[in-house]
Amino acid sequence: MRFHADLHIHSKYSRACSKDSDLEHLTWWARRKGITVVGTGDFTHPLWFDQLREKLLPSESEPGLFRLREELDRDIVRMLPSSVASSRVRFMLSVEISTIYSRGGRTRKLHHLVYMPDFDAAAAFNRRLGQLGNLSSDGRPILNIDSRDLLEITLDSGDGAYLVPAHVWTPWFGVFGSKSGFDTIEECYGDLADRIFALETGLSSDPAMNWRVSGLDRYRLVSHSDAHSPPMLGRETTMFETDVDYFAVLRALQTGAGHAGTVEFFPEEGKYHVDGHRRCGVRMEPQETRKHDGICPVCGKPLTVGVLSRVEELADRPEGVRPDGAAGFRNLVPLPEIMSEVLDTGPKSKKVLGEIDKLIAALGPELAILETVPIGDIAARSPLLGEAIDRLRRGEVIRDPGYDGEYGVIRFFEPGELKRASEATTPTLFEDSMVDR
């Protein structure tokens, strides 16, 4: 079975996360998006761990995965259109751990994704980490522990437990990040480095960028949303063609068989794609950064060196090389962002959300609309939206890259193009007759 998995998210117990980040809202949004397996996030937090054990049950015939209790799931189904209500959603126990420690004369601040096959293994992991820090202070705990030692604790927690370095190129918290990272996985995880088999690309890079570094060829590249609120689910996902099963996913990541690729941001939309200083309004491509010796021309302080520069620093291949056997990927833009441009209003506005509700009721989940629903079916409801998604699938987008914590912007229409096109269309994007009956 081919399915989308989003295995890096956060609960309401993580800092700066939505209070709606609970199991019920996550399930509702996962169905709308078309995601089959969702990480629980934050299982080290005592209150969230208790809720997971209370509301989730082992999924029959799907080892290592969990489903929402039937009575809770029925309430969610009643609030969804029939086009998405029948899809199943499963959960995998996951958590992001932040480690801060000194190595090689530098302070290292790195994030790691940890996965457990059952509650007993997760409880064993939590007991070990609870001896090292306060797990109740944040759903993504910050611990003074070496990355190598965190990996060892993970592996000792139970058969099938594994660790994936998170958003590996992010300047501040990625294993290859410019601020506190390493140049290789071996440097970071030492004698246990061979137990790492997958890397999360992060929002500011995609597989094509990672393929330029030959040392990464042996790793499966995964992508996830790092969602801090349920509507952000699925902005990046990993695709599998396996049984819906924790251990089938694990084998796919270990061997590559069944790892069907990723759905990615255009990397320019990520917050750290190029270099710069947000406060100074300075944004630079790598070659310009080198001309300035990495120094901001406005304030004279070091620039935040982004993902593209760091990739070029470690790259030993030109652009365009694809390693043998590497899984493919597809760059997408979240549907609310596309609709926002078409309607010329904010992506969280009632108008945008209302039109998306109608579209999902008529055509199915968001990821299917972006990837596979025939363009003609979309254009029949909105010619402009159909044109935007057609351009998206062809990769014909306008890119304004992000830097120093500022998201980039991906657009589909040149200035004035939308106005001219809209004058030739009806003012109502969707007719009431198009709503699911």
* pLDDT digits 0-9 by tens, 317-339: 999 999 999 999 999 999 999 99
* pLDDT digits 0-9 by tens, 239-261: 999 999 999 999 999 999 999 99
Q: What is the pLDDT of residue 415?
A: 87
Q: What is the pLDDT of residue 420?
A: 78
Q: What is the pLDDT of residue 256?
A: 98
- Where on the phi/psi map is residue 371: left (φ > 0), alpha (ψ -120 to 50), or beta? alpha
> In the predicted model, is pLDDT for residue 428 greater than 60?
no
Q: What is the pLDDT of residue 427?
A: 45
pTM: predicted TM-score of the whole model, two decimal places: 0.95
DSSP-derived pairing of the beta strands 37-39 and 2-6? parallel
Q: What is the 3-state secondary structure (H, E, C) of the chain?
A: CEEEEECCECCCCCCCCCCCCCHHHHHHHHHHHCCCEEECCCCCCHHHHHHHHHHEEECCCCCCCEEECHHHHHHHHCCCCHHHHCCCCEEEEEEEEEEEEEECCEEEEEEEEEEECCHHHHHHHHHHHHCCCCCCCCCCCEECCCHHHHHHHHHHCCCCCEEEECCCCCCCCCCCCCCCCCCCHHHHHHHHHHHCCEEECCCCCCHHHHCCCHHHCCCEEECCCCECCHHHCCCCEEEEECCCCHHHHHHHHHHCCCEEEEEECCHHHCCCCEEEECCCCEEECHHHHHHCCCECCCCCCECECCHHHHHHHHCCCCCCCCCCCCCCEEECCCHHHHHHHHHCCCCCCHHHHHHHHHHHHHHCCHHHHHHCCCHHHHHCCCHHHHHHHHHHHHCCCEEECCECCECCEEECCCCCHHHHHHCCCCCCCCCHHHCCC
Q: What is the mean pLDDT of residues 361-378?
A: 98
Does domain 2-268 sit in CATH 3.90.1150.10? Answer: no
For residue 436, name the pLDDT band (cuts at 50, 70, 90). very low
Distance CA 127, CA 115 (A): 15
Q: What is the mean pLDDT of residues 182-193?
A: 98
Positive or negative CA dihedral for 365, 371, 373, 377?
A: positive
> In the predicted model, is pLDDT for residue 83 greater than 70?
yes
For residue 425, name the pLDDT band (cuts at 50, 70, 90). low
Distance CA 139, CA 49 (A): 10
> In the predicted model, is pLDDT for residue 366 greater than 70?
yes
* pLDDT digits 0-9 by tens, 210-239: 999 999 999 999 999 999 999 999 999 999
Q: What is the pLDDT of residue 416?
A: 85
Percent of the chain with pLDDT over 90: 95
Q: What is the pLDDT of residue 431?
A: 42
* pLDDT digits 0-9 by tens, 394-403: 999 999 999 9
Percent of the chain with pLDDT over 70: 96
State the average pLDDT for the chain: 95
Residue 93's closest CA among 73, 65, 134, 61? 65
Q: What is the pLDDT of residue 422?
A: 65
Q: What is the mean pLDDT of residues 196-204?
A: 98
Q: What is the mean pLDDT of residues 288-304?
A: 97
For residue 418, name the pLDDT band (cuts at 50, 70, 90). confident
> In the predicted model, is pLDDT for residue 437 greater than 50?
no
For residue 432, name the pLDDT band (cuts at 50, 70, 90). very low
Q: What is the mean pLDDT of residues 359-380?
A: 98
Locate the domains of the chain by residue range: 2-268, 334-434
Q: What is the pLDDT of residue 430?
A: 42
